[in-house]
Copies of this chain bind each other. A is one copy, B any other.
Amino acid sequence: MYKTDAYAHTRPNAGVTIAPFIYKDEKIKVLLYKRSETSEVYQNLYSLPNRFFDITEFEDLQSAAHFALKEKTNVDIPHMTQFHTFSGQYIDPTRIITINTCYYSILREEEVAVGEEKGEFETKWVDIEEAMTYELAFNHNEVLVMAYQKVKAAAEYTTAPIHFLPKEFTIRELRILTSLLIDQPLDDSRFRQRIEKTGILIKCEGKMKKGANRPAQLFIYNDDYEGFFYPRSVTAPK
């Protein structure tokens, strides 16, 4: 029976890694923590939040990922998407072959309770471009690259980036965020047409965002459109 430990030596280590992103000051940031001096491996290196999948502790990978994210960010109901499972000896060369299931998480900055550092973990939010230049623990460099690529791809066709913004936001805010993720300028008029036509946003009647200019209409996301795919990429062909 596989239930016994007869096969134990044939089983891999398993773990989860989460790439938690926020959008702050018009930049995408990712959460890293510094591994302690006394870690078994990859001492003192920065790392994405992660967790070994210990079956005496967790029922499934999702729970382990959830735990690891909450431990570092204190966000309880995260927007979390599994995007790939890596495997091989290379992930953690000093141990046995490891399976690493990875998630990215699009978080609302205002809901992230943890700032820089906190008790046992030294955590920090790092500009994504800068984080890419770090030497990270385990295979987290490739994890981070793929995670960010998936987030950017989602911005092309889906409404996923909305989860970066506050509950109530303006069309301008969504446009600037989208423009950042797809790395292209977007025509304001065209963007409004595209958005408003689909019905993905609900106007907050009477609520306006004030500034040193004409007040802007606030909207909330229409959850019915979760998983919605635009029939066309926001990026123009050519």
A231 at the B interface (CB under 8 A): yes
- Give chain B residues whose Cβ lies under 8 Å from the Cβ of A215: none
Of A40, A85, A88, which is in contact with the most chain B CB atoms at under 10 Å from its CB? A85
Across the interface, A99 reaches (CB within 8 A) one of B14, B94, B231, namely: B14
Across the interface, A235 reaches (CB within 8 A) one of B1, B62, B231, namely: B231
Interface residues on A, range: 35 or more
Please choose the segment from A3-11, A169-177, A206-214 that sits at the chain B interface, where 4 or more of its residues have CB less than 8 A away.
A3-11
- Give chain B residues whose Cβ lies under 8 Å from the Cβ of A156: 229
Further pairs besides A1-B40, A2-B95, A232-B237: 20, Cβ < 8 Å: A2-B40, A2-B52, A2-B96, A3-B94, A5-B5, A8-B8, A8-B11, A10-B54, A10-B56, A11-B11, A12-B53, A55-B97, A59-B97, A61-B87, A82-B84, A85-B85, A87-B101, A99-B99, A101-B101, A157-B157
